[in-house]
Amino acid sequence: MTKMTLGSDIGGTNTCIGSVNVDGKVIARTRFSTSDYTDGAAYANRLAEAVRKVMAETESLSSDSIEWLGFGIGAPNGNHRSGCIEDPPNLNFKGNTPLVALLHERLQLPRIELTNDANAAALGEKIYGAAKDISDFIMITLGTGLGSGVFVNNQLVYGHDGFAGEIGHISVIPDGRYCGFGRRGSLENYCSATGIRRTFFEMIAQQGSKTILDSKRISEVTAKDVADAAYAGDEIAQAAMDFTGRLLGEALASTALVTSPAAFFLFGGPVNAGEVLLDPLRRAFEQHLIPTYKNKIQIIVSSLPMGDAAILGASALVAEHSL
């Protein structure tokens, strides 16, 4: 009998679902639009339908019978303790959705687990990636926002309410940019993909300089475009990436004081910018560490495959208990 897990990443635009074997390979997958749903129960119906589809496809591809160990879900504001998605900022169904309870009513699976996407990524790195032998580390996820998952003594830290690790909401610039919660100067407002774009355009406005991206509409410019422009020698793009890397490095040096991790893992689209981001990040990180920590903490780019990482991370919620 072949053991399999299921994983799902719930994003503001799309929901991805896949089946995962014990080696961390995604066997079957599907997706549907998250943004079509304004009601949590209706969304749970659609998610359960997609899960059954993936299970059926996986079983049709296998020559052996399958033991389904369970279903793990990574979601914005997913609370591991309550099993609810609580007041998600970027989903169309608002309030508290008891997703785990709704899915138990719809799926005959022994285990259904929920957490936020950064915790899921940390678990994925621990179960399937380069953190297998690291007991203390912090996963930093960079995308539209900035999240983190914290491992201490081989245990994922959830905190008393299930929301530990919200490093992206630490204030790093007093009286800085406003975030969606009305706070100012939050780390994710500067070091996410969204933040990189904003820094780039602010620097253009301040300096009045031309860039190699002038031919693009503002709405079309991505963080990747800024990174590519930096590699091509665009001085403003280089300055934007340098600022982002330095600010993130300083923030991680402060964060290290809390749990004394052996490593920070970096995951997400902006990390693909490579050395234009990572060089200033690593320099600032070492410069701002206290002497006790210097040259002892690694900055590692996640080994999880970008295309399947979200599914792997979510499935690891179940795999950590079963494999």
> What percentage of the chain carries pLDDT values higher than 70?
99
Kindly compute the dihedral angle of the four CA atoms of residues 201, 202, 204, 207, in this order, to the nearest 10 degrees.
180
| Confidence category of residue 290, pLDDT binned at 50, 70, 90 | very high
Residue 90 has pLDDT above 80, yes or no: no
* Better pLDDT: 320 or 63: 63
- Residue 253's pLDDT is 98
User: Are 120 and 162 in the same domain?
Assistant: no
User: Are 108 and 152 in the same domain?
Assistant: no
User: Are 313 and 291 in the same domain?
Assistant: no
Closest CA to 118 of 136, 93, 91, 143: 143
User: Are 110 and 160 in the same domain?
Assistant: no
> What percentage of the chain carries pLDDT values higher than 90?
76
User: Are 93 and 231 in the same domain?
Assistant: no
The dihedral through the CA atoms of 314, 316, 319, 320 has a sign that is: negative
CATH number for the domain harbouring residue 182: 3.30.420.40
Say if residues 156 and 123 touch (Cβ distance below 8 Å): yes
User: Are 163 and 283 in the same domain?
Assistant: yes
| Confidence category of residue 322, pLDDT binned at 50, 70, 90 | low
User: Are 230 and 111 in the same domain?
Assistant: no
- Number of domains present in the structure of the chain: 2
What is the average pLDDT across 241-256?
A: 98
Exposed (0-12), middle (13-18) or buried (19+): which is 12, by Cβ within 10 Å?
middle
Query: What range defines the domain where residue 72 resides?
Result: 2-128+307-322
User: What's the rounded Cα separation, in Å, for the pair 192 and 295?
Assistant: 26
User: Are 45 and 190 in the same domain?
Assistant: no
| Confidence category of residue 143, pLDDT binned at 50, 70, 90 | confident
Tell me the pTM: 0.89
User: Are 111 and 230 in the same domain?
Assistant: no
Burial annotation 187-199 (CB, 10 A radius, 16+ → b, else e): bbbbbbbbbbbbb
268: left (phi over 0), alpha (psi -120 to 50) or beta: left
User: Are 181 and 297 in the same domain?
Assistant: yes
- Residue 323's pLDDT is 55
Query: pLDDT (tens digit, 9 = 90+) per residue, 109-131?
Result: 999 999 998 999 999 999 889 99
What is the average pLDDT across 202-231?
A: 92
Residue 239 has pLDDT above 80, yes or no: yes
Residue 166 has pLDDT above 60, yes or no: yes
User: What's the rounded Cα separation, in Å, for the pair 24 and 47?
Assistant: 22
User: Are 294 and 313 in the same domain?
Assistant: no
Exposed (0-12), middle (13-18) or buried (19+): which is 41, by Cβ within 10 Å?
middle
